[in-house]
Amino acid sequence: MTINKHYSMLLGLDADWKVSGVQLDLEGKGVEVALEFIGKKATCPECGEACPIADHAPERTWRHLDTMQFETVLRACVPRSQCGNCGVKTAAVPWAEKHSRFTLMFEAFAIEVIKASSDIKKASALLRLHWESAHTIMGKAVERGLARRETGEVSRVGIDEKSFRRSQSYITILNDLDGGRVLEVVEGRKEEDAKGLLASLGKDGCSRVKAIAMDMWPAFINAAQAELPGADIVFDKFHVSGHLNKAVDEVRRKENAQLLKGGVETLKGSRYSWLRSPDTRSQKQTSYVEGLRRSSLKTARAWAIKEFFNDGYWGSRNEAFGETLYKRWYAWAIRSRLEPIKKVARMVKKHLWGLQTWFLHGITNAVSEGLNSRIQAIKSASRGFRNFKNYRTRILFFCGKLEMRPNTTH
């Protein structure tokens, strides 16, 4: 069997094409495979009709998978069909997509290399490509994946924001909480931005969403009520815990400053002892808190109020019991004479309707936070992004769980 036959089989060419020659350049470490169209008619790429051949387009090249250590390129003059309905059109080739400079097999391989390396510059070096070419492959892969993606089963989503540039610039991200994937990204965090993001699910997709997790950002609330009228809004429990921790720390800092003036160092260096959960505190921190929890310190009182909400409210077995625990907690917090705690209590009261829904759906934005960590790693590896379009492409490529490989079977 000749080398031409071997390459014809490796490329999976149909009967209309043949390998007319193979050239090996030892010095340049390259292989060129010449392809020739031998069919009698050319298929119109617009309507699919078999048409007479009008002429051939100028010779083009496509980067293919390496032959051993040699970079391999395909060359061909593609026929143009003389279609009675569509006019003169360049026929599609079986080894590459329209307008692509790479074969389907090479693009499939490049996608896997980029995914495995998690760094487009490193992947570009491995593939011996300019990073712009690698990014073009990524962009096409994302478009392909989005066109294939099914969102019919998405019923629980999360919406979250993340800083974009160093200035006050943000992106808003929509996540599939059950699928652990990013669904879409938009620039900005205003109400209209969030509405557009949710609307990207489509009318049917929006109607299937049963619950959406978020923080208490008014723009997100308004957007969800407008675009997802059948979904329950669930305020993220960890967002509330963050506010309570901030309040406890504010009480501690103020009290510590007062104690230090009198030479008392009881609270000095104790920040994380009061803020960490029992399962993340060290033995020393646990002993410290246990020794002071029943003291007259304002910090100890603020900590006890925080812990009662975290353990009592979120630990309630159902919505009704949770509301009962909330009322007890609120009465304690609002009478605590600790202004930071009272501020959180008023916030919780205002948003209780979106906290109670947690007992129905049990969702948080923990999945979104996990995806945000991956997005931050992408951002750090690229040393930031100036262009939102590129940022979106990277996020969906690495976090969208898309089926991005081209179909390499003919």
Q: What is the pLDDT of residues 66-99, one digit of tens each?
A: 999 999 999 999 999 999 999 999 999 999 999 9
Positive or negative CA dihedral for 384, 390, 392, 395?
negative
pLDDT at 383 over 70: no
Distances (CA, A) of 345 to 74, 294, 321, 336: 69, 22, 18, 10
156 three-state secondary structure: strand
Model pLDDT, residue 260: 95
d(CA 228, CA 203) in angstroms, rounded, equals 9
Q: For the range 190-193, what are the long-range contacts, defined as Cβ-Cβ under 8 Å and sequence gap of 24 or more?
A: 190/219, 191/218, 191/219, 191/222, 191/223, 193/219
Q: What is the pLDDT of residues 84-93, one digit of tens each?
A: 999 999 999 9
Q: Quick one: pLDDT band at residue 57, thresholds 50, 70, 90?
A: very high
Model pLDDT, residue 148: 94
CA trace torsion 240, 244, 250, 253 (10° rounding): -130
Residue type, 221: I
d(CA 234, CA 364) in angstroms, rounded, equals 8
pLDDT at 5 over 90: no
Q: Which helix (H) or strand (E) holds 401?
A: none
Model pLDDT, residue 4: 81
d(CA 114, CA 124) in angstroms, rounded, equals 8
Q: What is the pLDDT of residues 122-171, one digit of tens each?
A: 999 999 999 899 999 999 999 999 999 988 889 999 999 998 876 678 99
Model pLDDT, residue 19: 95
Buried b (16+ CB within 10 A) or exposed e, 145-167: bbeebebeebebbbbbbbebeee
d(CA 239, CA 234) in angstroms, rounded, equals 11
Q: What is the pLDDT of residues 226-274, one digit of tens each?
A: 999 999 999 999 999 999 999 999 999 999 999 999 999 999 999 999 9
Chain-centroid distance, C-alpha 341: 35
Question: What's the chain's Rg over C-alpha atoms?
Answer: 30
Model pLDDT, residue 147: 94
d(CA 189, CA 191) in angstroms, rounded, equals 7
d(CA 136, CA 242) in angstroms, rounded, equals 40
pLDDT at 282 over 70: yes
Indicate the DSSP class of residue 296.
S
Average pLDDT, the chain: 93
Q: Quick one: pLDDT band at residue 385, thresholds 50, 70, 90?
A: confident
Model pLDDT, residue 394: 94
pLDDT at 410 over 70: no
Q: What percent of the chain stands above pLDDT 70?
A: 98
d(CA 372, CA 380) in angstroms, rounded, equals 12
Helices (H) and strands (E) in the chain, counts: 17, 14
Closest to 128 (Cα-Cα) out of 60, 66, 62: 66
Model pLDDT, residue 173: 97
- Is 303:289 a contact under the CB 8 Å cutoff? yes
Q: How many of the other CB atoms lie within 10 Å of CB of 256? A: 20
- pLDDT, mean of residues 300-304: 97
Closest to 289 (Cα-Cα) out of 302, 280, 300: 300
Contacts with 321 (C-beta within 8 Å, 6 or more apart), sequence order: none
Closest to 244 (Cα-Cα) out of 344, 392, 138, 175: 344
- Burial group, residue 217, by CB count within 10 angstroms (0-12, 13-18, 19+): middle
d(CA 101, CA 110) in angstroms, rounded, equals 13
